[in-house]
A and B are shown apart, each in its own frame.
Chain A
Amino acid sequence: MIDTFAALAHGMAVAVQPMNLLYALIGVFLGTAVGVLPGIGPALTVALLLPVTYKLDPGGSLIMFAGIYYGGMYGGSTTAILINTPGESASMATALEGNKMAKAGRGGPALATSAIGSFVAGTIATIGLAFLAPWLVDFAVRFGPEDYFALMCVAFVTVSATFGDSPIRGLTSLFIGLTLGLVGIDKLTGQARLAFGVPELLDGVEVTTLAVGLFAVGEALYVASRRHHTEEKLEPVRGSLWMTKEDWKRSWKPWLRGTMFGFPIGALPAGGAEIPTFLSYSTEKRLTKHPEEFGKGAIEGVAGPEAANNASAAGTLVPLLTLGLPTSATAAMMLAGFQQYGLNPGPLLFAERPDLVWGLIASLFIANCMLLVLNLPLVGLWVRLLAIPQPWLYAGILVFATMGTIAAKPSVVELSMLAGFGVLGFLMRRFDFPIAPVVVGLILGPIAESQLRRALAISLGDPMTLLQSPISATLLGVALIALLAPFVLKGLGRFKANED
């Protein structure tokens, strides 16, 4: 413990060198900017910068990459809240309540709670990274395919129970997503499924294309179709631009809970940033004292997922630094960054290059502070976007969504899919189906499928393997309870009512 403090202090000394501060600043600025554009994510940015930075000092450029990574997580939430266009899939849960808040004139507090929540979560998670990394990684490695499958089951159950007014509608949406998740080359046998001979479909449906299509394009079409019915009143600002005392009171617990989901799941080699955001959203919806506000703009639904996605970003650095195991696209690019200096992240890195590792960890703290300073003053500027007349705003969103999609994958097929998903999103809105479960299905379905099949391949087809692992058995138990509890409670309630 003392050693860790000494090492961290040493790292701080490395990180506050003026050049390194400058690299961190460039990093967070670039990261925020690319996080805003759907399609261009932090991974692509780091890839583009790699050849430029190879002549720089390794510490400086890695600090910059970490800044981009954290910055991307911040930037993604801005568009999610303001124009319902998640910059990356981890910001999707934020869009659900955040955009409703923005429409109700509470965009300011929504942006503020997401920025401060990201800061709080990022800071706690970075502390976790510094102190728990060696312990956590031992735990993460013990997670086998059957355990991941059980984790997905928990996510499916909580998510399908959370979204939408009726479980049937939620499940319908989820199954649309699961079906879309089947498209492409089957990871385990290499055979194409539902690709209809279109080579672009072989890699499956891109999550950002689906999310942007359903959320942004679908929304634009819907608004356009309602224009002559009732004009939806958009208030750019109602009440305070900043968080009120009440907002703070309702935000701090979700921030902490979001961090608790984000950090450990982010540290799992196949955990990712999306699952913790959904779990956090479902949890907040259950625990809230204002259930009537969910779906209409509840601040808890922004605070939790935002904290979760930033905490998961720190989590992914745990396996990266201690095992050399990249668990997200951006982490993979950072690994390439390490390798271009002849450094191999892994158990030896902490011993061989402590200045570099601890300098990087310390600069994460600094990047976090910079992001807060950079983002809070911008809140006032951002919410003015909402004052733009609706037709212009939505036209802008369409241009913006199309541009982002083309930037990520320049192909006609991709653009047609965007349009197709836009129409699907419109129809689902029109007939009251929740859209979030579609994206959840697309993200989690393929993971759940391949993990289950891997588990069965390892056990030679014996399904008991799912119950023999203690982690898996526990998680499946949690899923089962979460599934049955509402019915049991309802039954008990009726029983009591009968007694009276």
Chain B
Amino acid sequence: MTDIFKTSLTGLAALAACTALTLGTPASADKASNTLNVAFAAEPEPLDTYKIAGRQGLILARHIYDGLLYKNLDTGEIVPALAESWEFTGPLTMEFTLRQGVKFHNGADFTADDVVTTLNTVITPEYGTRYSISVDWIESVEKLADYKVRINMSKPFAGAVEMLADALPIYPHDFFGENGSSGMAATPIGTGPYKLVSQEPGIRYQLERFEDHYAGSPKAGATIDAITVRTIPEMNTQYAELMSGDLDWIWRIPPDQAARLEGRVQIISAPIMRIGYVGFAPEALAGDSPIADKKVRQALIHATNRGAIVEAFAGGASKVLNTPCNPAQFGCEQDVAAYDFDPEKAKALLAEAGYADGFEMEMVFAAMPRPTAEAVAADLANVGVKLELNEQQYSSGIGKWRARELPAFFSNWGSYGIGDTAFILSNFFGGGADDLVQDAQLAEWLTEADTASDRAVRAENYAMAVKKIAEEAYWMPMYNFNVNYGLSNDLNFTPHPDEFARWWMASWK
């Protein structure tokens, strides 16, 4: 249904958009009032970071709240935010010296109590933090002094520092203690560069620059006074608003539409962490499937013209991948077996495996554009492999995968926007519910890599795992996604691969 709706909408509306684009007036941004007008197609969730998953809500939340640390994506460095300094005092303990003189939007002073209350609350199962992976490594948090805290870890977790870098915001303890998650959602109060002045949840948000934002913040230096965020579900309406100057910032523009808008407004394509993949399930069907044969899997990759697919349907900053992780992620070794587009070789491999006449196989695809799946099917048909394509919602697709009913699943994974291989490989090859490869050796390397505190040891183990996955062709990695941003011609904006828009860094030309 989604797709019928979307295809018909985009298909027929393209006509309207074309007309709009040929005759549209040039944009004039809202520079005069120093207000950034933003639109999202999807509704932001309630602004309690711990409970939500969608980028829209999380982007707003990162303008309102701060974490203990912050990751500078340009340098890859972790820098101080609410914590002035930190150190590992033992294998499972970290100590933080907190910054003094930081104010919350409601005037309260930031102290150790805020850190202790916030983190000790969100780690309890009753709180219901959305992603257990983000907090399940914290055993408890202790106050050592007014501006000093210790985090006791429940298990070694290499992603701990990444998580503390802005993914775990600190709430004011008085307000949060009294009002809980729904209170934070209704009245978000943080220490961030912007404060929320009004909201109609899911519809409209008004942010204003926080004049008392602490000096030395990695988010300091915002120049735009106000940000208005609206939900405009129809992309064509967003284009019209952008071109008429009522919007300054939109994103996730499909590649064909981006090409049409180019020249009238600013279009920027930026690579992101999310990658597309076809997962194979050699173990799940207990060997009772052609996919259990390594040669068959390699043949399928050789047979697929991934370069053409990327060029035709992803465009922009997307590239064909050879690894089951994003090259931008730590530990994603690139010196691995690569499978060029070579249908003859594919046929030879299939013949060697005893499938000279090909075979039939089901492939479910979810959250991927239909043309990409159809292109894969067409390429495989050329070497005699008939794919029975089946499009499903992500939830039903992954449900079937977990139930071990599928030989192949075509979807994508965003690694929570985090630049570390830990956030993709362990889920699919670490032995859990999504792992239908069940390679014990892989699981062992990944456990070592996920938990070691020495970065060299981590890198080495990830490298071994990545090489083996490529060699065994457990996955057909497709491409890294990109996002097209549409900006008014007056706006300076730098996109980041984690898909967190940083409007505090934006300015007018």
Q: Do A and B come from one complex?
A: no
Interface residues of B (CB under 8 A from A): none
